[in-house]
A and B are shown apart, each in its own frame.
Chain A
Amino acid sequence: MSDAVRGLARYSPSFVDALREHAPELLQQPGVTLGGQQVPEVPHGTTVAAICYADGVVVGGDRRSTEGYAIAQRDVEKVFPADDFSAVAIAGAAGPAIEMVRLFQTELEHYEKVEGLPLSLEGKANKLGQMVRGNLGMAMQGLVVVPLFCGYDQRRLTGRIFRYDVTGGRWEDADYHANGSGGKDARATIKKRYRHGMDRESAADILVEGLYDAAEEDAATGGPDLIRGIFPVVATVTAEGYRRLPDEDVRKAAERVVAARARGEG
């Protein structure tokens, strides 16, 4: 790098770059692995899904985390606002995933404050891909983190969904996606029910139904807990921003699914 480039590069708006310079011990080192040792059982998040609809995107996740065959927590949250106009849902090793979300949230806010403008949705998606790639060493040891990123694109005026593979590969889904251990089952349901340009209520309904089916087919995914009142976390991201749906709305959607099943449908 020439001196001029090196000089200018110091004025990076990236929080990760700032950490690397001022507090590198807070960053997970890309090369650090567990040296081939078996990773002890740690909590894993399971199924998350996102669906584009008329006003933006709806995203949700079940509430279970597991450690091997044990249930680690029954009311864990896997859907987070990344900033005002985007959300991340996490599946995989919960510890590194939640830390990645915290770093990603700080990264987006830092950029926005330094530059005076938020990153484009595309830029946010790329940044998250770089962070997933940074976790590759841990992923090879079994601590896989595969987020599902979605948001409202304020330039294209539409909801968009991005999924990742462990290498940081970034793939856009035009309509919906679900991942995690029950992702395939959730996708099967959503695929049958999905209609282009649905309204919010229908989109939230099929999301909850997809998670319900994932819970039926996958031991690691939790279903709605009507006794304790624990329901999937469901949020929308639209031109008005990120909004988590009230538990009451999700309860009603879950009860509709349960009632339909009781009638022998589905």
Chain B
Amino acid sequence: MSIGFGYVPPEQIIKDKADYARKGIARGRPMVVLEYDGGILFVTDNPSTHLHKVAELYDRIAFAAVGRFSEFENLRVAGITLADIRGYQYGREDVTSRSIANAYSQELGRIFMEGPKPYEVELCVAEVGSGSTPNALYHIGFEGTVTDHKRHLAMGGQADDLNAELQRNYTDGIGLDQALRLAVSALSKATQSGDGGPAAGRLEVAVLERDRPRRAFRRLTSDDLNARLRSDDSAGDSHEAGEGPV
């Protein structure tokens, strides 16, 4: 062998880092983001009521994350700071989800390439349009790849299963209750093999509402959520029949 014993080819380093990050993320609970007729819905299984995985970034922009809390919390605060500085320096309408998603992409890419360990996080930056302007959903991977999505996206453990499930059952123009049901059923199916799916009390749910005048972000309280999921039970039969066997 002409190459020294300690040599590791760059491909191997990248692959090891990616495997490490993927493993960390797969251990975390997944997150579903859905467009509905009045905005964007975020649903995730989160046993904590105080440590949030979804949060407001700016007027019409929200942040959602899965993975290691300390890492994405750091990124969340950095995103708020970036947005607030830009809005203060220029104007409120000059803060866009695209520029924030790009900044996250650059930062995660830099950490992945230069840092001793990649961040074990996946992010979503979502912006609800106003009037007839469309929504924007950006997904940013642990290595900084940014992709934009329409209708829905899932991230975290079992993301592939969730995406397939959403793909099968999502219909354009669904209402909030229907989107909520779809998200909850997808999450419970995906996590079935694990701990039996999320209970209503453990769901973290938030929305960006299109019709709100300025700050569009709102958390759904557990009362609100229970009421909506109860109406799900009573409408359960027709809902299941409409969807057919899955």
Contacts and interface: CB of A to CB of B under 8 A. Distances in A.
Nearest to B89: A26
A116 interface: yes
Interface in B40-72: 50, 52, 55-57
Given A15-B88, A113-B56, A116-B50, 10 more contacts: A15-B84, A18-B84, A19-B85, A26-B85, A102-B88, A106-B87, A110-B80, A110-B81, A113-B80, A114-B80
A192 B232 CA distance: 59
A42 interface: no
Interface of A: 11, 15, 18-19, 22-23, 26, 102-103, 106, 109-110, 113-114, 116
A109 B83 CA distance: 11
A102 B88 CA distance: 8
Interface string B86-121: 011100000000000000000000000000000000
8 closest A-B pairs (Cβ-Cβ)?
A18-B81, A110-B84, A113-B80, A106-B88, A113-B56, A114-B77, A23-B85, A106-B84
A111 to B, nearest CB: 10
Contacts of A11: 77
A103 B89 CA distance: 10
B49 to A, nearest CB: 11
Contact of A113 (B50, B55, B88, B89): B55
A132 B84 CA distance: 21
Contacts of B77: 11, 114
A103 to B, nearest CB: 7
A142 B46 CA distance: 55
Interface residues of B, number: 13
Nearest to B215: A109
A106 B87 CA distance: 9
A250 to B, nearest CB: 22
Looking at chain A's contact residues, the main secondary structure is helix
B88 A103 contact: yes
Contacts of A102: 88
A116 B84 contact: no
Contacts of A110: 80-81, 84
B89 A23 contact: yes
B88 A26 contact: yes
Contacts of B57: 113
Contact of A116 (B52, B85, B88): B52
* B52, B57, B77 pick with most chain A CB within 10 angstroms: B77
Contacts of A23: 85, 89
Contacts of A109: 84
Contacts of A26: 85, 88-89
B61 to A, nearest CB: 11
Contacts of A114: 77, 80
7 contacts: A106-B84, A106-B88, A109-B84, A113-B55, A113-B80, A114-B80, A116-B55
A23 B83 CA distance: 13
Nearest to B85: A23
A97 to B, nearest CB: 16
Nearest to B87: A106
Contacts of B85: 18-19, 22-23, 26
Nearest to A17: B81
B190 to A, nearest CB: 27
Nearest to B76: A114
Contacts of B56: 113
B125 to A, nearest CB: 14
Contacts of B87: 106
Contacts of B89: 23, 26
